[in-house]
Each structure stands twice: as C-alpha cells, then as structure tokens.
Structure 1
Amino acid sequence: MKWLQAIRKSIPKHKYAINAQMLGDDRELAWSNLGYWEDTTSSYPEACQALADQLAQSLEFTSKHNLLDLACGQGASLIHWQDAYQIQKISAVELQQECVENIKSEYSKFVDIHCDSFLNLKNIPFQQKFDVVICIDAAYHCNLNSFVRSACSVLNSNGKFGFHYLMLSDEWKNLNSLQKQKYKWLLKAADVNLDDLMSKAEMAQVLENNEFKEIQILDLSKQVFAGFASYIQNSLVLKTDSKKLDQFKIEMTAKLCRTLYEDGLIKYVQVSVER
C-alpha cells in the first residue's frame, strides 16, 4: 500500500496542475504561469507577477474596477490584485477543485470564487457583470471564439478584456502539411489544439465580430517562451530526485517553449481590448 500511495502522490491531481514549489514559489497560494522574464528578473514569483502586471497595466486597472479573474490557479493573482491595485470587488473562476478549496479557506471574505470552466461563464451565478475580465496564461488551451463569447456574456457594455494566447506568424502559411503536423503533435502534448490558432488578422477579426475595439496584440515570445526556457535550464530548483513526474512536465514545457521561440512560427501574445 505504501508504494501505491507514493505513486498517487507523485501524479498531478489535474492536467493543469503544476508544482509551483519546484519552480520556486513555496507559498500556499502560489503563482503558476510561464512568467515575463527580463534581464533584471531574479525569481519565478517575480516573473509571474510581471506577466500579470503587464496585462493588468494594459487594461489600466483601478481600485474601482469590478474584476473577474479566469483560471486564477493557486490564487497568487487574487492577492496581488488586492495588494498592488487595491481592488476590492474580485471574483474568480478556476477548474482545479483543490485550488478553489484552498482559496476559499484563506480568502473567502474578499473573493467570490467558483469551480468551473471559463467556457461556462454564462451559467455561473455571478451577482453582477464585470468592468474587467482577465485571464493569465491559460486561454490558449481552448478555442478562441468560444472563449471570447463566454467572456462577453459577463462583461459590462463598456468593459475591458485581457488574456494571453498563441498566434500563428506570417511565415506559418509557407509550411507544408508535414511540417504543420509536427507542431500539431508538439502542441497536443501541452493540451493546445493547433486548429484553434490563428494569424494576427484572424484574431483581430474574431474580436471585432464580438464588438471589441482598441485591439492590442503584443508579441511577448522572447520574454515568455525564451525567458521560461532559460530559467528552467539554469535553475537549481529542479535538481531533485523527488516528484519526477512533476519535474518531467516542467522540463518538457520548457523544451517546447524553447522550440517555439527558436522556430518563430508560433508566437506568445498578450491581447487587450475594450468594448
């Protein structure tokens, strides 16, 4: 029974679960994104917070905003919105039950959190619609049209919306079918469907069709893909014999980031829009 229990403990409880402690954040409500890495970045939590701040600043967060955080993970962003931006009206949606329970036990007084998919927002009993809807490093796991339509169902008529996604470069159209198949397999391992990805013009069209304006699509591939890959390559945090499956998942993610950055055919982008 001991070996069976050990195996169960070593297996991630959800396909999106990540061992944040192994990455460098050992807090109960930790960060869990790829991070925004610059030459001055010194730690994993710092890089994760920087990625969140890049998106929040593009949406011009204020303390008066009624905010919905989609795929909030282990909850670090929720604390950050309150501490750094003094936002008091915060709601969140997260698919991982364990994360939701941890957040409820620590911060239920100031966060209205729901365990559900961010594609099902119209069926979640929120008390009101939102001034800002934000999704850090997660939306590319689903179809863009479905994601945008879901967010629109809970956004105010003059609200702001920001997220990260993967985008096809202009050179993508020059690949043959066999070359594209390679990327389809690579992305599938990361739970990303290549058929959901679009060019910049196609992404903008989807957003315009949903009555968004002031569309900004910013390429963060160097800061995110290359930055995360370099951090994992140079990090001492992963030099351990425990939790090999968690370590394998992290290292494979880093290798994928390195491949995508060096090939330059699939970009990591920050998208911010308003109605």
Structure 2
Amino acid sequence: MRDYKSPGQYILDQYAPRIDDLSFPLWMNLGLWQEAETYADACRALADLVAQRVGLGPEDELLDAGCGFGHPARHWLETYRPKRIVGLNIDPEQVRIANARAAALGVADRMQFLLASATRMPFPDQSFDKVIALESAFYFDTREDFLREAFRVLRPGGRIVLADMLPTATWKTTERNKSVRWYSMKPEENVYPLAEYLERIRAAGFVDVRGESIRQHVFPGISQVVDAIRLENRYAGDLVVKVSPEERARCAGADLWENDLGLGDFAIFEGTR
C-alpha cells in the first residue's frame, strides 16, 4: 500500500484556511529561477515560458493536462486571454477547488476543470488548439498514452508543450529511485532521457519536435526553497532566493531529485500536430 502525500495534499494540509482566499496563489511547480527570487515569481515564470512556447493567444482553446488547483490556468486566462481553457485532473478535491475558484472569479464560462484522465480524454477528435502539460506528464500512466490522446484532440497545426522532469543521459537508476518513484506515483515506463523523450513525441505523430534542458534554471532555486521548508517549516511564498552564477553553473540542488527520484533533468518539449 502506498503512503504518499502529493504536493497538492501538502498544500491542503498546510494552508487549508487560505484555500478560499482568491489572492492566495496555489502554484505547484518547481519554478523557473532564471530571474525570479520568490517562489510565486518562479512558478509564474515557468507558466509564462510554456505559454509563450505553445504560442497561447486570444483565439485558442487550451487543454491544461494535469491542472492542479487551476492556478496556472487562471494566470494564462488573465495574461494571454485564450478563448477557453479546460483542465483535466484525477484528484477530485483539486478539481473541486479549481472550479470553485473559477466560479468565484466569474470566469467559469471560460475556464472549467474536469475529473478525468489525461490518458483517456473525454473529448472528440480535434477539440483544442493547444495542449500544455506543466509538470504533470511524469505522473501519466503512461506518458505515451497521453501523447497519443493529445495528438488526437489537437486540431491540425495545433501545438503541444510539456515541462517535465526526466533522468539525465548518464544516470543509472537505483533501487532507491524505483522505490521513491513507486511511492510518488511516477510510472517506470516514463523514465527515459531527453533524446528518447523526443523520439516518443515524434512517434505519437508530432512534427517540428524540440526539447531543451533548463535544469540549471530550475533545481538551484527550488532546492533552496525545499531546504528552508524542511528546516524552518516556512511557507514557500515568504522566501527570497538568490541563485549565484556558480550554483547555476553546477546545477546546485539537482542531486536532491537525482538521488531520490533519479530525475535530475528538467526540460521543455514542444511539437506540432
């Protein structure tokens, strides 16, 4: 039996009194720390990066696969003004909160969240213009099933962008890695490095496929946040993080994810239907 507390459950446990406060940001990603110095700014920067890479704009219908509490979707709706956003999640409480927040903001007609699997999407073919998976595809069982479904529901010329954790090309997985991945609901079928990841996106039918590791802009910042939470039990949003050029150059903190999960790389992937 798995005794696993998801990042979403951690947020619910720690910050339940603030869940109904619409000004409280419910970010759940590792963040892009290229310029950001706070957790919220880093999460927003990563959300902006995937939105810009997918080319999100006012005419788009966007599928947010693995939408969490809906905070990235809220940011995209407010910033990039797509026609519609639909989020998918298999966590009933996260879906409930995401929809409640959308209703409270008065945007439920343009932003809705469904309890459904990203590997068995409840949509007709060619329903969306863009698909984003922001730090969620490593949970999908399997990522290949998701990629095939994403291809199916995209319209011709539609775009997909993923921000995802993966192993480095040289990492040899350990029994500890397998155990931690099992407890944290990350299927072994999803464990492969960047070059193979690109091939699997192409195998799903996508063209103009690209992938770029941005690990040096992710792990050094979020590792400082994790250390502070563990040592001081502080809310991540209260922290100011300074990443030095030396820390960025050696990708400080990546060993935390590599030693536990065997996932010491972080990359952005894109493709076109």
Same fold (TM over 0.5): yes
Instruction: Verify the 8 A CA contact 1:168 1:197 in the aligned structure 2.
Output: yes
Call closer, same or farther: CA 1:237–1:119 in 2, change over 3 Å.
farther
Among 165, 178, 181, which residue is 1:184 paired with?
178
Counterpart of 2:131 in structure 1 is 133
Moved over 4 A (4+): 20-23, 25-29, 125-128, 261-265
The one-letter code matched in structure 2 to 1:31 is: W
Q: Which residue of 207, 224, 230 maps to 2:224? A: 230
Would you say 1:34 and 2:30 are equivalent positions? yes
Q: Equivalent residue for 2:105?
A: none
Structure 2 equivalent of residue 111 of structure 1:
111
Is contact 1:141-1:192 (8 Å) kept? yes
1:96 partnered with 2:88? no
Distance in 1 between residues matched to 2:14 and 2:114, nearest whole Å:
27
| Equivalent residue, structure 2, for 1:50 | 45
Letter in 2 for 1:270: I
Could you state the TM-score of these two structures normalised by the residue count of structure 1? 0.75
CA distance in 2, matches of 1:81, 1:15: 21
Aligned length: 241
Residue 16 of structure 1, CA deviation: 4.8
The alpha-carbon distance between structure 1 residues 220 and 21, as it changes in their structure 2 partners (threshold 3 A), is: farther
Q: Deviations over 1:41-97 (max 9, x none)?
A: 232221111111111111122211111111111111121111111112211112221
Q: What secondary structure is seen at the aligned counterpart in 2 of 1:165?
A: strand
- Equivalent in the alignment of 1:200: 194
Mind listing any 5+ residue stretches in structure 2 that lack a counterpart? 103-107, 236-252
Answer with 220-229 or 57-66: which moved more.
220-229
Matched, 1:260 2:257: yes
Match of 2:70 among 72, 75, 84: 75
Aligned to 1:120: 120
Alignment-mate amino acid for residue 32 of structure 1: M
CA distance in 1, matches of 2:113, 2:125: 12
TM-score (norm 2): 0.76
Q: Which amino acid aligns with 1:164?
A: A
- Would the aligned equivalents of 1:166 and 1:266 in 2 still touch at CA under 8 Å? yes
Q: Does the CA-based 8 Å contact 1:18-1:32 persist in structure 2?
A: no
Which whole-Å deviations, capped at 9, do the CAs of 1:230-260 have from their partners, x for residues lacking one? 12223587249xxxxxxxxxxxxxxx95423
Q: 1:20: Cα distance to partner? A: 6.9
The equivalent position to 1:17 in structure 2, one of 9, 29, 34, is: 9
Give distance in 2, aligned partners of 1:212 and 1:125.
19
Per the TM alignment, residue 22 of structure 1 is displaced from its structure 2 partner at its CA by 5.0
Instruction: Report the 3-state secondary structure (helix = DSSP H, G, I; strand = E; otherwise coil) of the residue aligned with 1:17.
Output: helix
Identity percentage over the alignment? Answer: 22
Q: Which amino acid aligns with 1:56?
A: A
Range 127-136 or range 65-74, more displaced: 127-136
For the residue of structure 2 that corresponds to 1:84, the secondary structure is: helix
Q: 1:149 to 1:18 in 2, by over 3 A?
A: farther
- Distance in 1 (alpha carbons) for counterparts of 2:37 and 2:114: 33
Q: Tell me the distance in 2 between the aligned counterparts of 1:222 and 1:191.
A: 25
Segments of 5+ residues of structure 1 without an aligned counterpart are: 1-10, 241-255
Q: Could you say which residue in structure 2 is the equivalent of 1:8?
A: none
In 1: Cα distance, 2:263 partner to 2:30 partner: 19
Q: Tell me which amino acid in the other structure corresponds to 1:154.
A: V
